[in-house]
Amino acid sequence: MLRVPRFPAAVRATLARRTYASTTVQLPDEAHGHLPTSQSPITSKLRFFNSVVEEGKQIPTYRVLDGAGRLLDGAEPPEMDEALARKMYENMARLPIIDNLLYNVQRQGKISFYMTAYGEEATLIGSAAALAPDDEVLGQYREMGVLLWRGFKLDEVMAQCFGSYEDTSSKGKQMPVHFGSRKYHFHPISSPLATQIPQAAGVGFALKRDPARRGKNCAVVYFGEGAASEGDFHAGMLLASTIPSPTLFIARNNGFAISTPSSEQFYGDGIASRGPGYGMHTIRVDGNDILAVLSAVREGRRLCLEEGRGVLIEAMSYRVGHHSTSDDSFAYRPRQEVEDRKRVDNPISRFRLFLESRGWWNAEEEESYKEKVRKEVMKAFKRGESMQRHEVKEMFNDVYVGEEPWTIREQRQELQALLKKYGHIWEPWRSELKKHKGEGKELIESDH
Amino acid sequence: MFSARALQLSQRRLSLPKKSLGRRFQSTAPEPPPAGGHLPSIATSSYLRATRDSALRSQDIRWLDGDNNGPPGSVIAGRETRKMNLYQAVRDAMAIALMKDDTAVVFGEDVAFGGVFRCTMGLAEEFGRERVFNTPLTEQGIAGFGIGIASMGHTAIAEIQFADYIFPAFDQIVNEAAKHRFRSGGQFGAGSLTIRCPTMSVGHGGLYHSQSPEGYFLGASGLKIVIPRSPVQAKGLLLGSIRDPNPVIFMEPKILYRSAVEQVPIDDYQLPIGKAEVLTKGNDLTLLTWGTPIYHCETALHMLASPPESLAPHVPPSLRSAKVELIDLRTILPWDVDTITESVRRTGRLVIVHEASMTGGVGGEIAAEVQKRCFLKLNAPVRRVTGWDTPVPMHYEKFYIPDALRILDAMVETLTY
C-alpha cells in the first residue's frame, strides 16, 4: 500500500488556521466567539468587505529589478550564477527572433497560423528556469518559450508549424503552435481555453500518488487572464486546493484576450484576488522582471510541493504583439500605446542592462548571438519548409488504441477507393497528394 | 428460442384471474416506490442468471486469474458466484480494479460515504480516502481531473452522479478526452479514464433524472460508450471498460440498480467491449436495444407469442409463432455492426428501441447503416421505438418511455408491413 504523507503538526495547525482566519482585515476582537464548526469570529458590526488585502488597496506586485535593470532597494535577487543568467538571457533574446520569422512566414502564406509571445519573454523564461525539467507543464498556447528552455529543437518547432513528417507533437494533425512533448513533459496544447486547468490538478494528483515523484515534481499550468474567466479555471483551482494536489497555477495577465482588455474581463483585483478565495498561497509578480518571476516561481513551487496543494502566481505583463496572425490589434488599441510599452517596459532590455552591469554581457555578444540565432532559425526554416507531410493514411491513426473499430477501417477504405479512382486525374487532389510522404501510394497501391 | 421457464411463465399468465393480470401490468403496490425505482417484470426475467451455472456460462466471459493458485482461465469448475444486484456488481468490479491496479482511484460527488446509489459502498473504508474520495461539486472539474490523471498513465474511475448532469463535462469529454491521443501524435492519451453515470428513466425522474444522453457522444470518435443490462453484464463490462485503453463512458440504467438481481461470479472477469449479445435467436425480426428496454422487449416477446385477452385482436394469430431475435447492443460506440447486419440479413426486419428521444438518438445512426448494408434484404422499413422528442415529462412517463405495448405494436406493424 502507498504511504499517505503526514504533515508535521505545526504545519497542520498553520494550515487549519490559514483556512478560516481572515487576512489583514481588522475586525473587533472575539468577544462573541465563533460559529459551531468554524474559526470565523462573530461580530456585531454590520460591515461588508471588498478587498483581499488592506481595505481599498490592491494586491501588491513583487519586483526585483527596476526598468533600468537595477536592483530595487531591499530587493533580494534570486540565487543565480553567470551561466544561468546567460542561459536565461539567451532564451529570452531568441524568442522574438523565432517569432519574427514564423510570423512573417505566415504572412507569406507558407504556414497557416502563428502566435507570437512578444512582451512575455520574462514570464515564460523566468518561470521555466524555476521549474524542474520534469515538472509536468500544461500550457495554453503562448508558452513555446518554456518548451524551448527544456531543449525542444528548432527543427521540431518548424516541423509542427509546417505539419511535416518530423512533427512529433501532433503528426500533422494540429494547427501551428499546438506543441506537445512527452520527452519534455509538456502536455499537448488544445485550442479550447482553460481546459488544461482542471487537467493540471489531475496531473498533480497523479504525481502525488507516484512514490517516485511525490514531493519532487508538481504540475504547472499556464493560462491567460481571459481564460481565467472560464468555469474550468474555477474547477481546477477548487480541485487543486481541496483534494488537494500539487499544482502551480501561473496566470499570464498580459492585458488582453484578443481585443478584450482586462477592464472588460473582470472587475475584481486581477486573478490574484481569487487565490485566497480557494485558500491558496498567492502572489502577484511583475511578469516583465525575469528575476522577480524566477524568485516567485521558485518559492511558489516550493510551497506547492511542501504542502501538496495549489499555489497561484499572477504574472503581470503586456501583450506587445497581436493575439495571433488572425488578429490586427491596431483595430482596438492605439499604435502609440504599444510603442510606448515596448520602450518603457521591455523585459529583455531590462535584464540585459542588469547583465551588462555585472559584466556578464555586452554589445558585441548581443550582435554575434543574435546573428547566430538568426542563422539557426533560417536554417531550420529552410530545412522544414520543403519537407513533406506524413502519409495520408496517418489521418486515421491514433483515434483509438487497440483493435481498430470498423468505422475507422471502412472509412479509410472508402478514401482509399476514392484515391484510386480520382487521385491521378483530379488536379486539386493530385497536387495535394504530392505534399504527403508516399504521395498516397500507401493507399492507392494497397489492397486493404 | 424461449426457455422452458419462459413458456411456463407465459402459460401461467393465461390462467391467472383478471385481477392479477391487472397487477402484473399496472403496478399498484401499496408502499411508496423506493427512490431507485422498481420494475416488476425484471424479477421474473429469464435473461437474468439466477443460478451459479448459468452465470458462469455467460457468453464470451473471459476470466482474469492473476495468480497460479486459482482455477485456470478457461475452466469454470470451482468458481463461485454470489447473489448481487446491479449496484453491488458495479461495486464489486471497482473493488477488483482497486485491488489489482495500484494506480486506480475512484472519485466523484458523494462517493466516499458509498454513493447516492450505493455503488461505492465500503470502498473508501477498504482502500482508503486517498484512493476513494469525494470531489467538490463540479462535473467539468471531475472530467478534467480524470483526464489529467489518465494522461499520466494512472487509472481514473470517475463518477458523474446522474447522466443528466454530464453536460458541464461535455467539453472535457468531447474536446479533450476523446481527442487527447489523436492531437498529440500518440504521445499522450486519456485511455485509462472511465466515467460512470446512472442513466435512463426511473419512473419518477422527470426531465433531469431520466435522460439517456448516449446519442450526444456519438460524434466524439475516440470515445467508447457501454451500457450494461444486468449485474453479471455490469461487472464484466465495467472491468472491460476500465481496462480498455480508450476513454469509456459507462452508463448504468439506474432503475436496474436494485431490481436486477443475479448470481454474479466473484472472480475477476471481463466481457468484450464492442460486441453485442444475441439473447434470443430468431429469423423473422431483429429486435435491437440496450439497458432497461431489454426487459420491456422480453415482455413484448411474451405478449407476441401469447397475447393477453385484451390485445389478442391486435396480434394476428399468424404472427404469434414469429421467432424474434432479441439483441442487446451493450457497446453503443463503436457498435457491433457485424452482429446486427448478419441478423437483419436473415430476418429482413429491424426494430430498434431506446429511451432517448427519436431525433438524434442512436437508432437513427444504426438505421442508416443497416439500410445501407441490408437495403435489398429489408422487407420493411427500419422501425424505431423511442422516447418522444420532448424532455422527459414527470407525470406522463408511462406514455413517454417505450413500454412493452409500444414494442409489441411496432413488431406487429413491422411483421405485417
Cell of A139: 500550457
Largest CA distance in chain B: 67
Nearest CB partner across the interface for B176, out of A169, A190, A239: A190
Q: Which residue in B109, B180, B209, B355 is the catalytic one?
A: B209
| pLDDT for B66 | 75
Examine the pLDDT at B8 and tell me if it is beyond 90: no
pLDDT over threshold 80, residue A13? no
Neighbours of A268 (CB within 10 A): 12
pTM, rounded to two decimals: 0.92
Task: Determine if the peptide bond prior to B334 is cis (ω within 30°).
Answer: yes
**Partner-chain residue, chosen from B143, B154, B222, that has the shortest CB–CB distance to A400:** B222
- Rounded to whole angstroms, the Cα distance separating A312 from A194 reads 15
Encode pLDDT of A324-378 as tens digits: 999 999 999 999 999 999 999 999 999 999 999 999 999 999 999 999 999 999 9
Question: For position B67, what pLDDT does the model report?
Answer: 63
pLDDT digits (tens, 9 = 90+) for A322-337: 999 999 999 999 999 9
Q: A32 falls in which pLDDT band (50, 70, 90)?
A: confident
A193 touches chain B (CB under 8 A): no
Query: Which residues 275-334 in chain B show a CB within 8 A of chain A?
Result: 334
**Residue B244 near chain A (CB below 8 Å):** yes
Catalytic residue among B139, B252, B277, B397: B139
**In this prediction, what percent of chain A has a pLDDT beyond 70?**
93
* Intra-chain end-to-end CA distance of chain A, in Å: 48
3-state SS track over A1-52: CCCCCCCCHHHHHHHHHHHHCCCCCCCCCCCCCECCCCCCECCCCCCCCCCC
The partner residue sitting opposite B246, judged by closest CB among A173, A195, A402, is: A402
pLDDT band at A17 (very low <50, low <70, confident <90, very high): very low
pLDDT value, residue B13? 44
- pLDDT tens per residue across span B176-219: 999 999 999 999 999 999 999 999 999 999 999 999 999 999 99
From chain A, the residues in CB contact with B147 under 8 A are 198-199, 202
Contacts 24+ apart (CB under 8 A), B42-47: B42/B256, B42/B259, B42/B260, B42/B295, B43/B259, B43/B261, B44/B9, B45/B260, B45/B295, B45/B298, B46/B2, B46/B3, B46/B5, B46/B6, B46/B9, B46/B298, B47/B229, B47/B230, B47/B279, B47/B294, B47/B295, B47/B298
Q: Among residues 130-189 of chain A, which lie with CB inside 8 Å of chain B? A: 136, 138, 167-171, 173-174, 178, 180-182, 187-188
CA distance B40 to chain A (A): 37
How far apart are alpha carbons A3 and A211 in whole angstroms?
8
Choose from A205, A391, A411 for mutation: most chain B CBs within 10 A: A205
Average pLDDT over residues A30-37: 83
Contact list, A136 vs chain B (CB under 8 Å): 152
pLDDT of residue B328: 98
Q: Is B106 on the interface with A (CB under 8 A)?
A: no
Give the pLDDT score at B65.
Answer: 87
CA distance A207 to chain B (A): 8
B132-172 pLDDT, tens digit per residue, is 999 999 999 999 999 999 999 999 999 999 999 999 999 99
Using the beta-carbon criterion (under 8 Å), do A173 and B244 form an inter-chain contact? no
* Predicted local distance difference test score (pLDDT) of residue A47: 95
Q: Is A56 exposed, middle or buried (0-12, 13-18, 19+ CB in 10 A)?
A: exposed
Looking at residues B357-385, what average pLDDT do you find? 98
Mean pLDDT of chain A: 94
pLDDT tens, position by position, B60-111: 999 998 765 556 566 888 999 999 999 999 999 999 999 999 999 999 999 9
The rounded distance, in Å, linking the Cα atoms of B25 and B300 is: 12
Joined together, the cell numbers standing for residue A340 give 510606448
Q: What's the gap in Å between the CA of B120 and the closest CA on chain A?
A: 18
Residue of B144, B189, B244 lying closest to A236 (CB–CB): B144
Does B168 reach chain A within 8 Å, measured CB to CB? yes
Chain A residues with beta carbon closer than 8 angstroms to that of B182: 173, 398-399
Query: Using CA atoms, how far apart are residues B389 and B392, in angstroms rounded to an integer?
Result: 9
- The question of whether B139 is a catalytic residue gets the answer yes
Between chains, do B183 and A182 touch, taking CB under 8 Å as contact? no
Answer whether residue B38 shows pLDDT above 70. Answer: no
Which string of DSSP letters, residue by residue, matches A96-133?
HHHHHHHHHHHHTTSSS-----TT-HHHHHHHHHHS-T
- Least Cα separation, residue B390 to chain A (angstroms): 29
The pLDDT-based confidence of A1 (bands split at 50, 70, 90) is very low
**Given CB atoms, is A349 within the 8 Å cutoff of chain B?**
no
pLDDT value, residue B72:
59
Q: What is the pLDDT of residue B41?
A: 78
Q: Looking at CA atoms only, how far is residue A238 from chain B in angstroms?
A: 7
Q: What is the overall mean pLDDT for chain B?
A: 92
In A143-236 the beta strands, taken as DSSP E runs, fall at 219-224
pLDDT reported for residue A36? 87
Cβ contact B221–A407 (<8 Å)? yes
pLDDT band at A447 (very low <50, low <70, confident <90, very high): confident
pLDDT surpasses 70 at B16: no
